[in-house]
Amino acid sequence: MNELSSKDYLVFLFYFIIVAGYGFWVYKRKRIAGVTGSKDYFLAEGALTWWAIGASLIASNISAEQFIGMSGSGFKMGLAISTYEWMAAASLIIVAVFFIPVYLKNKIYTMPQFLHKRYNGTVAMIMAVFWLLLYVLVNLTSILYLGALAINSISGINITACMYALAIFAIIITLGGMKVIGYTDVIQVFFLILGGLVTTYLALNLVAEHFGSSGIVNGFRILTEKADDHFHMILKKDNPNYMDLPGLSVLIGGMLIVNLNYWGCNQYITQRALGADLKTARNGILFASFLKLLMPVIVVLPGIAAFVLYGQGSFHDEMLQNGDVNPDRAYPVLLNLLPSGLKGLAFAALTAAIVASLAGKCNSISTIFTLDIYKKKINPEASEKKQVSVGRITVIIAMLLAVLIAPLMGIDKKGGFQYIQEYTGFVSPGIFAMFILGFFWKKTTSNAALFATIAGFLLSLLLKFLPGFADLSFLSASGFSKLNPDGARYEIPFIDRMAFVFVFCVIGMVIISLLDNKRGVKPNGLEVDKSMFKLNSAFAVGMLIVCGILAALYTLFW
């Protein structure tokens, strides 16, 4: 049944008291220490340990779209969807080695600040406004609405009430600043992983028991036997899910651009590490990379288990929506099978994931608006105290807007995971090209950066709608497009489209920069030297372990 028992509510209340109480304790300690500056509020400068940074990265990243959306994708296409998590582990290593040193060496605190320092104020302001709109209209709304839908499906609580409750909980944590967010995220991740593992344990046990066996090992073995087609990481062109995950592109193509842009050029994520020293930041990111390896066990395996059980006739009606199977119902259906008490733990895990993501996103919105718009354009003389006040007001306004707008965005029709990817994918290739050349090619000019921002977006739109009136059969032979199910036209897979746009942006930026250089334009350089990228032995060992595990996983499940 989609309702919670008294035991479930007690477990959830226990979780709420721990998180809220610990957050208040951290906040009071900070007040007693007299630390109230803007850098401390927005970045927790020097206050987060490596394990707090790593946990906060994961807590901010994992939300309802992973629990619900990726479990649904596990039901539909299998383990292949894990590429988003496992390639993220590899991308985090690259960010730790190459990106973070550049940010910290040049005292970069926000992504628009980087663009201002490397290019000019015009590029920075355009992107600051864009990121604010993206975070509020796409990310906050989707996390909030999909989270409310998920909680409604297992508790029966009204969706609107869920949205307001989640928003209020997230605001309480966010108003304490990044230090409170960072340390409460450690507890959030604990509940997230514990509750997620409990659900996976139950799902594997259910599979084993259904086939007359017992134990999670037997359950996993049965999954691999009964759903062999769901345990391949690299999909072939004849696979019906190829358009979502096009073959080797998930390893060497657009998937890397998706992940490197998300983990390395995203205020929402990098903010966790920008207040620390290089060693602490790197170790925190490495810890997050290890946690990423675990995520498919929590969010994908339950979906595959639901697929196998559904194929055996279990919870047939529960998976239907308007007469059709809705894969996104897989995780809530499994949660509703949990015994009293454990269901409350899983409910707390889901809530923890949603609230942590909302709090992290709100803090980033607050940081960008206050430091990059308010301080630079509205009130350059604003005191530290005033900046913190503006930041807190921004949090409340952003969350209120998200609550009001979310029901109007059609998120439930698109699916939260696809909703976010669809809208961010139009600009990610251009942004990543602008960042990567800005980091490592000193000749890159601001005109080139503007070209990547605008032309990248326009080309993404063109490639999205071009197949509607163009014959792309010449690309099909090379695997870069596939005949649409209606047989009338060819489509370019989303991930390949991102790769094409990225290459186009890089070539265009190089040409424009060289022409600008010939005309005597002198670009703003960053401080970069080889010594910045030197690794200590402990990090290097951890990095090799992560890479070794990834190689083993892809070899085993190729």
Q: Are residues 226 and 365 in the same domain?
A: yes
Contact between residue 233 and residue 246 where contact means Cβ atoms under 8 Å apart: no
The answer, yes or no, to whether residue 69 has pLDDT greater than 80, is: no
Q: Using CA of residue 220, residue 222, residue 227, residue 232, what is the dihedral sign?
A: positive
Q: Report the pLDDT value the prediction gives residue 353, as an integer from 0 to 100.
A: 76
What is the Cα–Cα distance from 271 to 265, expressed in whole angstroms? Answer: 10
The answer, yes or no, to whether residue 472 has pLDDT greater than 70, is: no
Q: Are residues 370 and 473 in the same domain?
A: no
The answer, yes or no, to whether residue 119 has pLDDT greater than 50, is: yes
What is the Cα–Cα distance from 347 to 150, expressed in whole angstroms? Answer: 9
Model confidence pLDDT, tens digit, residues 523-542? 877 777 778 888 888 899 99
Phi and psi, residue 301, nearest 5°: -55, -40
What percentage of the chain exceeds 70 in pLDDT? 86
| Between residues 523 and 516, the one the model is more confident about | 516
Q: Report the pLDDT value the prediction gives residue 282, as an integer from 0 to 100.
A: 92
The verdict on residue 187 lying in a domain is yes
The tokens of 322 are what?
């308007």
What is the Cα–Cα distance from 339 to 362, expressed in whole angstroms? Answer: 34
What is the Cα–Cα distance from 317 to 319, expressed in whole angstroms? Answer: 5
Average pLDDT, the chain: 80
Lowest pLDDT segment from 134-138, 275-279, 476-480: 476-480
Q: Report the pLDDT value the prediction gives residue 509, as an integer from 0 to 100.
A: 94
Containing domain of residue 460, as a range? Answer: 425-527
How does DSSP classify residue 379? -
What percentage of the chain exceeds 90 in pLDDT? 11
CATH no. for residue 354? 1.20.1730.10
Domain count, the chain: 2
Phi and psi, residue 466, nearest 5°: -55, -45
* Residues of the chain by 3-state class (helix, strand, coil), percent to 5: 75, 0, 25
Q: Are residues 380 and 433 in the same domain?
A: no
Whose CA is closest to 356, among 91, 68, 64, 38? Answer: 64
Q: Are residues 272 and 343 in the same domain?
A: yes
The answer, yes or no, to whether residue 355 has pLDDT greater than 90, is: no
The verdict on residue 465 lying in a domain is yes
When pLDDT is averaged across residues 75-88 and rounded to a whole number, the result is 88
Q: Report the pLDDT value the prediction gives residue 474, as an integer from 0 to 100.
A: 47
The answer, yes or no, to whether residue 393 has pLDDT greater than 70, is: yes
Q: Are residues 346 and 471 in the same domain?
A: no
Q: Are residues 383 and 474 in the same domain?
A: no
Q: Report the pLDDT value the prediction gives residue 417, as an integer from 0 to 100.
A: 58
The verdict on residue 534 lying in a domain is no
What is the Cα–Cα distance from 463 to 458, expressed in whole angstroms? Answer: 9
Which H or E run contains 325?
Answer: strand 324-325
The answer, yes or no, to whether residue 492 has pLDDT greater than 50, is: yes
**Residue 9 half-sphere exposure toward CB, CA atoms < 13 A:** 7
| Between residues 261 and 471, the one the model is more confident about | 261
Alpha-carbon torsion, ordered 300, 227, 75, 417, to 10 deg = 60
3-class DSSP state of 445: coil
The verdict on residue 27 lying in a domain is no
Q: Are residues 378 and 429 in the same domain?
A: no
In the chain the first and final C-alpha atoms are separated, in Å, by 38
Q: Are residues 49 and 117 in the same domain?
A: yes
Model confidence pLDDT, tens digit, residues 167-221? 888 888 777 666 667 677 777 778 778 878 888 888 888 888 888 887 888 888 9
What is the Cα–Cα distance from 268 to 367, expressed in whole angstroms? Answer: 10
Q: Are residues 69 and 212 in the same domain?
A: yes
Model confidence pLDDT, tens digit, residues 141-155? 888 887 887 777 777
Q: Are residues 388 and 445 in the same domain?
A: no
Q: Are residues 101 and 191 in the same domain?
A: yes
